[in-house]
């Protein structure tokens, strides 16, 4: 008689539960802002606390999202297995530990970061409530991701007076708004049946895809304008060209309304966007350092 298959280790199940791989969407932009705020040179301790804060904040937000949507996710064929990965008690425990980690990390960065950390947590968690009352919940997800570059800049500079992180944050917001519109088309029928607000469920899939296209046009322009404002050079410019190509590819895949292709558009292409822009920034900072030396 064969014994039941053993469960994967808790950390692997937790990583799936909070979609840890999706950290690649926002973290590269936090690193871009961090490096530019520090002129290409950031103390390892500062960089470490920024990464710790970003990862903890995202884990907190995802645990909150799963807990708030616990019963809804059980009914959705796409998400029905989530509650089997981690118990509610475990999710609350991870959420509490993540919140504590955010406060510890921001305390070690600077006073302004620590003071603003509850505001950051509120923004990140508020997104999870928005589908219950607005068709523009996707905007609030964009706002949550936009916190990353602004927060990283503040962590290095200790100031909110510089325009560059807000320009990058705005581009990230619009980019996220667009790709979440595409991804949310997968749940259109379910959202309608459950009375949930999402743009595709309220205005239809064709309207959602059209809006996503325009948002990504604006996002592309935003990434370019940020590069100009930050005085980046050919490395970042090349990354912007790759990004624009990736966004065009994303919309070609999305037009098929095929589950597999939309998943590719959501994860692989958007991961390419964020990591490519980070690599372009690294290339330019390396050139700048060599010239100044």
Half-sphere exposure of 5 (CA within 13 A, CB side): 3
Q: Give yes or no for residue 209 having a pLDDT over 80.
A: yes
Report residue 258's pLDDT band, with 50, 70 and 90 as the boundaries.
Answer: confident
- The tens digit of pLDDT for each residue in 140-178 reads 999 999 999 999 999 999 999 999 999 999 999 999 999
Q: Of the given ranges (137-146, 186-195, 238-247, 252-261), which has the lowest mean pLDDT? A: 252-261
**Res. 292: pLDDT tops 50:** no
pLDDT grade, residue 259 (50/70/90)?
low
Residue 241 neighbours by CB distance under 10 Å: 14
In which band, very low, low, confident or very high, does the pLDDT at 291 lie, cut at 50, 70 and 90?
very low
Q: Please report, for the chain, the start and end positions of each structural domain, with discontinuous segments joined by +.
A: 12-287
Residue carrying structure tokens 């970003």: 54
Q: What is the pLDDT of residue 287?
A: 43
Report d(CA 277, CA 238) in Å as an integer: 9
Give kind and range of the element (H or E) at residue 178: helix 164-184
Percent of the chain with pLDDT over 70: 95
Residue 141 DSSP code: H
* CA-angle at 74, arms to 185 and 253, nearest 5°: 20
- pLDDT score at 289: 53
CATH class label, 12-287:
mainly alpha
| pLDDT, tens digit (0-9, with 9 covering 90-100), for 162-172 | 999 999 999 99
- 3-state class (DSSP) for residue 58: helix
- pLDDT tops 70 at residue 288: no
CB 127, CB 143: distance < 8 Å: yes
Give 201-251 as a DSSP string: HHH-HHHHHHHHHHHHHHHHHHHHHHHHHTT--HHHHHHHHHHHHHHHHHH
How confident is the model over 78-119, as pLDDT tens digits? 888 888 899 999 999 999 999 999 999 999 999 999 999 999
Which of 155 and 258 is assigned the larger pLDDT?
155
- Residue reference for tokens 């370019």: 224
């Amino acid at each position: 008689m064969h014994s039941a298959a053993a469960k994967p280790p808790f950390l692997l199940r937790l990583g799936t539960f909070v979609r840890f791989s999706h950290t690649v969407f926002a973290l590269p932009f936090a690193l871009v802002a961090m490096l530019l705020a520090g002129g290409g040179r950031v103390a390892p301790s500062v960089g470490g606390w920024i990464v710790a804060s970003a990862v903890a904040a995202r884990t907190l937000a995802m645990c909150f999202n799963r807990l708030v949507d616990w019963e809804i996710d059980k009914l959705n064929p796409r998400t029905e297995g989530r509650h089997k990965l981690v118990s509610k008690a475990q999710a609350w425990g991870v959420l509490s530990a993540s919140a504590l980690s955010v406060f510890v990390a921001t305390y070690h960065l600077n006073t302004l970061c620590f003071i603003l950390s509850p505001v950051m947590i509120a923004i990140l968690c508020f997104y999870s409530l928005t589908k219950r009352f607005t068709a523009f919940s996707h905007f609030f997800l964009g706002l949550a991701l936009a916190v990353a570059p602004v927060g990283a800049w503040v962590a290095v500079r200790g100031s909110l007076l510089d325009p560059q992180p807000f320009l990058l944050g705005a581009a990230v917001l619009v980019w996220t708004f667009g790709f979440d519109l595409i991804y949310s088309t997968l749940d259109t029928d379910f959202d309608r049946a459950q009375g949930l607000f999402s743009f595709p469920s309220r205005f239809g899939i064709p309207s959602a895809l059209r809006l996503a296209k325009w948002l990504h046009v604006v996002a592309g322009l935003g990434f370019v304008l940020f590069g100009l404002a930050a005085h980046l050079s050919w490395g970042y410019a090349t990354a912007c060209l790759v990004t624009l190509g990736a966004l065009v590819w994303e919309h070609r895949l999305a037009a098929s309304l095929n589950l597999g292709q939309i998943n590719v558009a959501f994860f692989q292409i958007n991961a390419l966007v964020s990591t490519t822009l980070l690599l372009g920034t690294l290339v330019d900072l390396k050139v700048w350092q060599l010239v100044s030396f």
